[in-house]
Chains A and B, each alone.
Chain A
């Protein structure tokens, strides 16, 4: 069975600072995806960034980047130049590929950006 662990329940940084959210996962699968989702107070789960396990290059989307360490089963999210609108719950998630699957979420990190 796959598990996703987020060990930081809450984080708070000043606007414009850089923040890193941690995530570890456990799986025996070789083909999978990892995700970071953002859930603002509006409740809608929004995909922030996606990493395919077979790709060695870390994914980047504007101010968001990941540090994917496959051997260590670690998948952290770095947010650069943080903005007030980044305040939200952030969930790390895992999904097997090449078969009907499901998304397995971690317990989340509540990120607050202070003005």
Chain B
């Protein structure tokens, strides 16, 4: 079975540029969440989407946006990149919203390593 797939695996961007990261959830999963993991730290929650609607947002600036498509895949967009945006961006998929009692397990992809220079 295909797991959560993220593309690209690595990316180098220049300060001020825009970046789009992509995530395909496990087949049948309707929820996608995005996390930012800065080197040496634990992941930090950015967004959760369910059935194409934003259902949660972390403490990130408006430069970060996301959307979920009818096939439940998702894109994370970051505008006006800063050096501090360099991180591993993880996508997690789950059948339902993370936090519901049933199907609470989130499955993570291998992430996109973004380097801003």
Contacts and interface: CB of A to CB of B under 8 A. Distances in A.
Interface of A: 4, 33, 42-47, 50, 91, 93, 95-108
B76 to A, nearest CB: 15
A55 B92 CA distance: 26
Contact of A91 (B42, B48, B104, B110): B42
A100 B33 contact: no
Interface residues of B, number: 29
B110 A102 contact: no
A108 B41 contact: yes
B78 interface: no
A92 B36 CA distance: 16
A77 to B, nearest CB: 15
A108 B42 CA distance: 6
Given A44-B111, A45-B90, A108-B42, A103 B106 contact: yes
B43 A105 contact: yes
A33 B110 contact: no
Contact of B98 (A42, A91, A103): A103
29 contacts: A43-B111, A43-B113, A44-B110, A45-B43, A45-B108, A47-B106, A50-B104, A50-B105, A91-B43, A93-B42, A95-B98, A96-B99, A97-B104, A98-B100, A98-B101, A100-B48, A100-B98, A100-B100, A102-B45, A102-B48, A102-B58, A102-B98, A103-B33, A103-B43, A103-B45, A103-B92, A103-B98, A105-B44, A107-B40
Contacts of A46: 108
Nearest to B47: A102
B48 A105 contact: no
Given A45-B43, A107-B42, A108-B42, A100 B108 contact: no
A101 B101 contact: no
